[in-house]
Structure 1
Amino acid sequence: MNTLRIGSGAGYSGDRIEPAVELAEHGDLDYLVFECLAERTIALAQQARISDPQGGYDPLLAERMRRVLPFVGQGAGRRRLRVITNMGAANPLAAAREVRRIAGELGLGLKVLAVVGDDVLHALPAEQLLDNGKTVGALGERLISANAYLGVEGIIEALRADADVVITGRVADPSLFLAPQMFEFGWAFDDWPRLGRGTLVGHLLECAGQVSGGYFADPGFKDVEDLARLGFPLAEVDADGNAVITKVAGSGGRVSRATCAEQLIYEVHDPAAYLTPDVTADFSQVGFVEEGVDRVRAQGASGRARPDQLKVSVGYLDGWIGEGQMSYGGPGAVARAELARDVVLKRLALIGVKMQDLRAELIGMDSLHGPRSSVEPWEVRLRVAARCEERGDAVRIGNEVETLYTNGPAGGGGASKGVRQVVAVASLLLPREAVKPRIEE
């Protein structure tokens, strides 16, 4: 294979589906990758699996697969399209079963394999220290998940087994894109320069629409055309890991040197030592060259030996957040909203609500930048929220905001309230020998 074509079908769990379908149908792809796991996403998925042992995978899995599976496999005059995704979240095996069920309904004979082994909840010693200063044992029954960031190994094993669809749990974002490059081009697991270049490709694609102008757009400063029809990116990669980032012709958005440069520095602490399970990537010499409209060549990445330890993301229950909101509009809106805020805070003290991390703000005035300016808006929204150890205390916060309807000040409307359980996330490092990825049907 001279050139490998990899598309990004999603940059997070709730991402749009249409751009992925566009890539599957018109991108002439070898691989379509859906990257759908954030730090908290898998902890929330583990929580969902507790309620339903057959659940715990991405809620959009079925809809996405139903839309793209008809393009998967070998078609006349087309490249063989394969799908790689971490939409398995907390339950890759159940996700793989669901994809096989959908493929069967569509009359497609596809091979679907799951990569497991990232769940290390029962392998953590109680004395293991987390990055928040607590130990694993100190979390007790509040501990709900512990998932290691796997690398390319399980995905490559599944591709060698001729899988059409590979479903994983927690895999490092760029590894989803690096694996097909290593598989197709036969790169060695210690070919650090190529692995560094392949990881750059993955890092540029992993957030989907961000690199094709989505999060980049800022009207009047960084204009992007047809944002409502934003096209997701794809990479054309050669056997040495050199790549051109582009998108489907005619789709909305923009791929430029600037969009690629912004994505390059996204979530990268040290450009010379970007740690992944597969390689310590070096992006410090990366440059971008515009070769044409929506065509940017990425070059200059390298790499060195991978870390000896894997990051583990730990999810645990950490109390409740209670919230209430109320809007005020017209003349004197700010003064009435400020009085309402004062009333709620005094009421919470009077009834003895125990809370931490209290926020009482006027959205549009001081929620982001502190004290308001001299400009008086015509509308403002009060938001009061706090974290509480007990659910009952959290409920009272929203209730007190709602009582402003009849207890004043005048003119409040559009009240809302809610309570949600906090799933907090902490991290630790685990020797990679303790983590055993494998494939299963």
Structure 2
Amino acid sequence: MMKQKIRIGCGAGFSGDRIEPAIVLAEKGNLDYLVLECLAERTIALAQKRKLQDPCKGYDPLLVRRITSLLPILVKNKICLITNMGAANPVEAAKKVSEIAQQLGLKVKVAAVSGDDVFDKIDKNALAIETNEPLTTSGELISANAYLGVEGILEALKNEANIIITGRVADPSLFLAPMIHEFNWATDNYDLMGKGTVIGHLMECAGHITGGYFADPIKKPVENMDILGHPFVDVFQDGSAIISKVEGTGGVVNLQTAKEQLLYEVINPFEYFTPDVIADFTTVKLQEIAENQVQVSGGTGKQRPNTYKVSVGYKAFFLGEGEISYAGSSAFERAELAGKTLEKRLKNQFDDFRVDYIGLNSVHRQSINAISIPNTMPEIRLRVAGKAKTIDEATLIGEEVEALYTNGPAGGGGVRKYVNEVIGIISVLINREDILPQTSIFEA
């Protein structure tokens, strides 16, 4: 029998999100589905890098911790989990989830949705959307993942999977798929696809819509952020919805938080491209109907695009950094002397070299107010950074900062040095016909 309403919770909005809100949702949210959205462009490129080092890895680093904490609650409360924690290796992620279930003595059916890895299918000389230059001019390519839509998840739901682990799937599709499955929506009904995509977009960033990223203690105060709750949404068969959060959790769901999230990453609200639909956000209506309850209606769409967007990762550069603090009388002057000294020693060795005085000009690149007059600064932290072609070159920056301990100026302390290989991201398009989503089933 087709349901008239389903409840979907969003327990994570990025890979490093807290685990606790998802547990609260699973325990107290009376959910039908729990979504963990843990994948971004750079996240999957880094996951591909880990997979190159170990073919059994490449899934989300927190997968084991999240699944171990959540699985008993999900099974107990009969909640279906949909997550892109598979990252670069959804099949191995599904195998790991099955292994955890066996260790916990739980019986689950796990589905892996793959097919988004198109590294061997893309034209390496294709022009990048961002630069209009061939992909290979950016650097050594390491990954290429297409943004898939709902198809693979729908196949997993048809096979009654309890846990669905995907790779790169468009964020709203994680939420749209259970709506299509439960309400028997036709995937060529672009009005409903548009409505479902609006709801998915509102939910995908988790704590954004419950006041997390929204909060400003002066202009937009939010209470109890230490126990910030993540959202759930009641979706109805006609594509309308009510977004809320678990009672007793921190944060707020109101018209302002919903509006901010609706506009998040939307360049053209008339045409928001996803693999499932080109959604139109301009007819969306939001209404605050009770405390921490926002009703969502409207929105529409038109035929889905004939291409998938592909996120391509490449080795961009090595970033070398060093930091040191100065405090007390003439703190800024000593920091400035140190910065100028390192600039003389290092600048000509790097294509891009930067000296920041954190607290004074590290964000705005200039003093931002009268309080920040340099000679009144009681403390200052110097940061020096440069882009390098090799790890050895990048290491030199931190070593030079550390050398300030005895080579002056006086009173420097708290040195930290870092070297990080930076993965760049560019995009191309690939024909939809060239990609076939695949669903693999594992039973524990």
| TM-score normalised by the chain length of structure 1 | 0.96
From 16, 19, 34, the equivalent of 2:21 is 19
Contact 2:138 2:316 in 1 (8 A): no
3-state SS in 2 of match to 1:123: coil
> Pick from 38, 41, 44: which aligns with 2:40?
38
Residue 358 of structure 2 corresponds to residue 363 of structure 1: yes
What does residue 314 of structure 2 align with?
Answer: 316
1:407 maps to: 407
Q: How many residues are paired up? A: 433
Q: Counterparts in 2 of 1:200-239, with a 5 A limit?
A: 200-239=198-237
Q: Deviations over 1:368-421 (max 9, x none)?
A: 122224432211111111111122221111111111111111111101111111
Q: Distance in 2 between matches of 1:246 and 1:216?
A: 16
Match runs of 1:16-415 below 5 Å:
16-73=18-75, 75=76, 80-131=78-129, 132-138=131-137, 142-349=140-347, 353=349, 355-372=350-367, 373-375=369-371, 376-415=376-415
* Distance in structure 1 (CA, Å) of the matches to 2:187 and 2:228: 35
Q: Give 2:395's aligned amino acid.
A: V
Query: Aligned partners of 2:89, 2:158: CA distance in 1, in Å?
Result: 22
SS in 2 for 1:121: coil
User: What SS class does the counterpart of residue 58 from structure 2 fall into?
Assistant: coil
Q: CA deviation at 1:139?
A: 5.8
CA contact (8 A) 1:327 1:381 kept: yes
| Structure 2 residue ranges without an equivalent (≥5) | none
Tell me, what secondary structure is at the counterpart of 1:72?
helix
SS at match of 2:191: helix
1:218 partner amino acid: D
Give how far 1:221 is off.
1.1
Inter-partner Cα distance in structure 2 for 1:220 and 1:348: 42
Q: Is the 1:7–1:234 Cα contact (8 Å) retained in structure 2?
A: yes
Separation in structure 2 between the aligned mates of residue 254 and residue 127 of structure 1, nearest angstrom:
48
User: What TM-score comes out, normalization by structure 2 length?
Assistant: 0.95
RMSD: 1.2
Return 216-225 or 124-133, whichever deviates more: 124-133
Alignment-derived partner of residue 7 in structure 1: 9
Contact conserved, 1:124 with 1:136, CA < 8 A, in 2? no
List runs of 5+ in structure 1 lacking aligned partners.
none
Which is worse superposed, 227-236 or 301-310? 301-310
- Tell me if structure 2 keeps the 8 A contact 1:9–1:208: yes
Please give the secondary structure, in 1, of the residue aligned with 2:120: helix
Question: What SS does the corresponding residue of 1:320 show, helix, strand or coil?
Answer: strand
Per the TM alignment, residue 71 of structure 1 is displaced from its structure 2 partner at its CA by 2.2
- Distance in structure 1 (CA, Å) of the matches to 2:259 and 2:352: 36
Shift of 1:20: 0.1
Give the Cα–Cα distance (whole angstroms) in 2 for the partners of residues 293 and 166 of structure 1. 33
CA separation in 2, counterparts of 1:91 and 1:329? 48
Distance 1:374 1:292, change over 3 A: closer
CA distance in 2, matches of 1:161, 1:276: 25
- Please give the secondary structure, in 1, of the residue aligned with 2:321: strand
Q: Which amino acid aligns with 2:389?
A: E
- SS of the residue corresponding to residue 144 of structure 2 reads strand
The answer on whether the counterparts of 2:232 and 2:244 sit within 8 Å (CA) in structure 1 is yes
CA contact (8 A) 1:360 1:384 kept: yes
Distance in 2, Cα, partners of 1:274 & 1:358:
38
Q: CA deviation at 1:72?
A: 2.3
Cα distance in 2 for partners of 1:193, 1:288 equals: 17
Distance in 1 (CA, whole Å) between partners of 2:146 and 2:226 is 36
* C-alpha distance in 2 between matches for 1:344 and 1:84: 50
Rounded Cα–Cα distance in structure 1 between residues aligned with 2:306 and 2:56: 34
For 1:31 and 1:250, how far apart are their aligned partners in 2? 21
**In the aligned structure 1, how far is the partner of 2:394 from the partner of 2:329?**
32
Question: Percentage identity across aligned positions?
Answer: 52
**Deviation by residue 1:50-71 (Cα, 9 ceiling, x = unmatched):** 1111100001101111111112
